[in-house]
Structure 1
Amino acid sequence: MFAPHHQAGRRQRISLRTRVTLLAAMCVAGTVALVSLGAYLTVSNNLYQQVDQNLSDRAKAALRAPAFGSDTGNGTTLPSLVAALNDVKFALIDANGRNLKDFGQVRPPISAVERAVAAGTKPDDIRTDSHGDRVYSISVQFSDSSGTRSGALVVSQPLGPTKSLLADLALVLILISGAGVVVAALAGTAVARTGLRPVERLTRATERVARTGDLRPIQVTGDDELARLSTSFNTMLGAVAVARDRQRNLVADAGHELRTPLTSLRTNLELLMASEAPGAPTLSAQDKEEIQDDLRGQLDELTQLIGDLVELAREDAAQAVWEPVELTEVVEQALDRARRRAGDIQFDVILSPWRLIGDGPALERAVLNLLDNAVKFSPAGSTVHVRLGSAGDGFAVLEVADEGPGIADEDLPRVFDRFYRSQEARTLPGSGLGLAIVQQAALRHGGEVLAGRSVQGGALFSMRLPGMPG
């Protein structure tokens, strides 16, 4: 009862190289078989036509010979037939099938067909006898003392030599066909072995990656489709390696960043718990209030850090919500949230309508991060300048500029790295993930974000996003 499954498993285990070899052999076998069959049928038909034509021509030539006549009214003697048809069987018969004259020759097969020709019902006929002879009969008019009467000249030739020739031809065609199939199978094996060698390397590399996690690229030779496939596979391995390294760095950096607030939380909690123990010195109300403020600040820092980590984790998640977005509305919503925690920082805003297809919440989070970053580094009473307008090339540019100290030249290449914080930023609240989230959102929407220095001397962040004017 399990035989069908076993057979299916055996069919599935046939290698691609074997399938290519079998396909090449089958294609050649089919082609050679058709060509051989066509050649055999053509030669066979021509040989049989030649036999028929030879019998007809010789019979008619014998009847036209000057020696054929005295007994038939043509003025010559019948024995000339013996000379004209000496190497074939022949006979002159009447309508009853009897010989009109016996020349001592071998008599051809006589049937109702030949008697009908002798009776004058048909001019001639050709057929194959059951003994393998080709028999041709042609009507003849005889004149003798009894008057004019009908007869037939019947000639026949054995088909044995013709069949023997066709049998030899069939054997030669079979041998040639077999040799062609063998050569095709060998050629298919060679082509499959050579052509599938890159595929085998890819297979071994895939198995190595699955078994060991080793993401080293494989060797690429040539410039054909398989070489391009190998190159694409190496590109994929490189991307996987980069993603794995980024994941490791993210985990390591997150662990490092979480360790500080967690240690501080634990220290403060242990201090509070120790103060409540019997016989332990009590803390003053002011000390308890300071510890509670520290706990709240550390919890806020942890909450922000975890939120930023979750946002970064969406990089590999499916982009489920893509819809028309009015970018000016996104910026205005982010401004409303930024103003509530900006204190005496003012915002100078100029926005031009711009629409795109994207993830509205992700864009709002990115814009809010830019605004919060500008507020964090702006001195009291200064202004954050926000501009949104078309760049003229199918992109809009959102610029956020502050009047703070700006970004040092050595920090510019790394401001968008995860957990990177400049020396000035280390004393300020934040996780070092805000600008990384901005860059991630811009890249996901087909844009980019750049950092520089504003005309006021502070930091300038420019985010380019594709779309169209509203």
Structure 2
Amino acid sequence: MNVTDPRGDRWGARRFSLRGRVTLLAAACVAGAVALVSLCAYLIVQSNLYQQLDDNLLARAESAVQSPQVQTQLKQVPGAFLASADLQIGQLNGLTGELIYPQAGSPPPVGPSELRVATGGLPQSLRTDQATGTRVVALPADHGEAMVLAQSMAPTKRALNELAVVLFLVGGAGIVVAAGAGTAVARAGLRPVDRLTSAAERVAQTGDLRPIPVSGDDELARLTHSFNTMLGTVADSQERQRQLVADAGHELRTPLTSLRTNLELLLSASRPGARALPDEDRAEIEADIRGQIDELTQLIGDLVELARQDEPRELTERVELVDVVERALDRARRRAGEIEFDVTMQPWVLTGDNSALERAVLNLLDNAVKFSPRDARVRVSLRPLGDGTAVVEVADSGPGIAEEDLPKVFDRFYRSSEARTLPGSGLGLAIVKHAAERHGGAVYANRAAEGGALLTIRLPGAPG
């Protein structure tokens, strides 16, 4: 059974942190580049040095072949023998295989290639003799002979070895500098990430949603802006939740207090020896209790609806807005009594949530019915505006909305002075606003030509 030590994982994560990986990556990239450049430089210099060695040998061999003969100890030898202190030089006879070379020097290496040049089988030969570490060249001379020259490769190899050491030291220094620069760059570049990490840890530990200071306009700055936007969204959400809880508590307190008072009256009247309540008072208290229960039920339902609409959901359903309005009208007519609806609609299609839009339109209709006098008419219209949006307008002939109340009618729990005596939770129009904004639209409140309120939902979409 394999057992993983959590401490080992933690230390392993620290050893290979993002800063460490950036440093290692920079050092590895520089090491690869230095190694490639050093290898290319070494190979180029090696090729050039060996080419110079070969060119020098061939040139001196040609000079040796063309040099005049000199007489020494009753023998004729090439004059090049007299100026070959740094070379091994000799004249090879192709028939006998005899090699003539200066007595003060050493003979050059001779092999089958040089013999073939002496006999005319090859125009020239150039090879490396591994046994002596020399470069050997042979050119044909007169009368079946070949001039053979050899030069040690040790100076060339020594120069290449020194070059390799220099390249290694320079490359190593470059890697060390690159690692230091990578560390500095990683530390400076990841400083915003450290701030984001600290901010995230601060939010997790304290719930502090203050934004992070932003400097620059690079990718990390944009990331910080996005994080600050997220913090702002979370802060706004928390503030809305706190406000909703506070407003809900305030709205619940009044009906609950009244309900408790009425229940205590009924309980007191039912105790033995207590004075009985008149039937008229009892009926009034019971009606009041039923009204308060209905008010609480509506308030709780509206709160649940707002909470449901706050849930993040994708709007992918095709919505025929005419059908939505017709379904809302069917429900509104059942509780509208003698109020009539004057309806004009044109087809409009959008992508969204059928139930949320139906609830929003129904809330507008219920609001119009609540404030309209008996036997009144509520005007309902659905029409496009020609700019890619359409409006659903609901106008009533009630008392209308005061100018100071127009900007506030869609706020949660807001109720005008005229509406405080009527049933309602103060959340109906807030649900309308929330549904419209979820679908990329907006809501408006104004005064209708009939003298009442004109409430409008504006939604994007296309003609049906």
**TM-score between the two structures when normalised by the length of structure 1:** 0.91
Residue 453 of structure 1 is matched in structure 2 by 447
Shift in CA distance, 7/231, structure 1 to aligned 2, threshold 3 Å: same
CA RMSD of aligned residues (A): 2.3
Contact 1:25–1:188 (CA<8 Å) still a contact in 2?
Answer: yes
Task: Give the CA deviation at 1:102.
Answer: 5.2
Task: Give the CA deviation at 1:157.
Answer: 0.8
Shift in CA distance, 229/320, structure 1 to aligned 2, threshold 3 Å: closer
Residue 63 of structure 2 is matched in structure 1 by 61
Residue 344 of structure 1 is matched in structure 2 by 338
Within a 5 Å distance, the mapping from 1:99-114 to structure 2 comes to 99-100=99-100, 103-114=103-114
Residue 88 of structure 1 is matched in structure 2 by 87
Shift in CA distance, 3/35, structure 1 to aligned 2, threshold 3 Å: farther
Task: Give the CA deviation at 1:84.
Answer: 4.5
Task: Give the CA deviation at 1:241.
Answer: 0.9
Q: Distance in 1 between matches of 2:429 and 2:318?
A: 24
Task: Give the CA deviation at 1:70.
Answer: 8.7
Higher deviation after alignment, 340-349 or 396-405: 340-349
Higher deviation after alignment, 32-41 or 320-329: 320-329
270, 289, 298: which one pairs with 1:304? 298
Corresponding letter in the other structure for 1:107: P
Q: Distance in 1 between matches of 2:162 and 2:138?
A: 30
Within a 5 Å distance, the mapping from 1:29-178 to structure 2 comes to 29-65=31-67, 67-68=68-69, 77-95=76-94, 97-100=97-100, 103-129=103-129, 130-142=131-143, 150-178=144-172
Corresponding letter in the other structure for 1:400: V
Corresponding letter in the other structure for 2:19: R
Q: Distance in 1 between matches of 2:358 and 2:47?
A: 86
Task: Give the CA deviation at 1:276.
Answer: 2.9
> 4+ runs of 1 displaced by more than 6 Å?
3-7
Contact 2:89–2:102 (CA<8 Å) still a contact in 1?
Answer: no
Task: Give the CA deviation at 1:79.
Answer: 4.3
Contact 1:62–1:85 (CA<8 Å) still a contact in 2?
Answer: no
Contact 1:445–1:465 (CA<8 Å) still a contact in 2?
Answer: yes
169, 179, 186: which one pairs with 2:173? 179
Higher deviation after alignment, 257-266 or 23-32: 257-266
Shift in CA distance, 298/124, structure 1 to aligned 2, threshold 3 Å: same
- What SS is found at the alignment partner of 1:460? strand
244, 258, 277: which one pairs with 1:283? 277
Higher deviation after alignment, 302-311 or 338-347: 338-347
Q: Distance in 2 between matches of 1:101 and 1:210?
A: 92
Shift in CA distance, 5/110, structure 1 to aligned 2, threshold 3 Å: farther
Contact 2:140–2:146 (CA<8 Å) still a contact in 1?
Answer: yes
Task: Give the CA deviation at 1:409.
Answer: 1.6
23, 26, 30: which one pairs with 2:25? 23
Q: Distance in 2 between matches of 1:26 and 1:417?
A: 60
Equivalent pairs, count: 458
- What SS is found at the alignment partner of 1:468? coil
Q: Distance in 2 between matches of 1:84 and 1:197?
A: 72
Q: Distance in 2 between matches of 1:115 and 1:5?
A: 76
- What SS is found at the alignment partner of 2:39? helix
Residue 249 of structure 2 is matched in structure 1 by 255
- What SS is found at the alignment partner of 1:461? strand
1:426 is aligned to 2:420: yes
**TM-score between the two structures when normalised by the length of structure 2:** 0.92
1:206 is aligned to 2:200: yes
Q: Distance in 2 between matches of 1:137 and 1:21?
A: 56
1:362 is aligned to 2:362: no
Q: Tell me, which stretches of 5 or more residues in structure 2 are unaligned?
A: none
Contact 1:58–1:85 (CA<8 Å) still a contact in 2?
Answer: no
- What SS is found at the alignment partner of 1:236? helix
Task: Give the CA deviation at 1:6.
Answer: 7.3
- What SS is found at the alignment partner of 2:304? helix
Contact 2:378–2:395 (CA<8 Å) still a contact in 1?
Answer: yes
Shift in CA distance, 323/195, structure 1 to aligned 2, threshold 3 Å: same
- What SS is found at the alignment partner of 1:49? helix
Task: Give the CA deviation at 1:3.
Answer: 7.0
Q: Deviations over 1:320-356 (max 9, x none)?
A: 6742222112112211222222222222211112222
Q: Distance in 2 between matches of 1:3 and 1:370?
A: 62
Q: Tell me, which stretches of 5 or more residues in structure 1 are unaligned?
A: 143-149
Identity, in percent, stands at 60
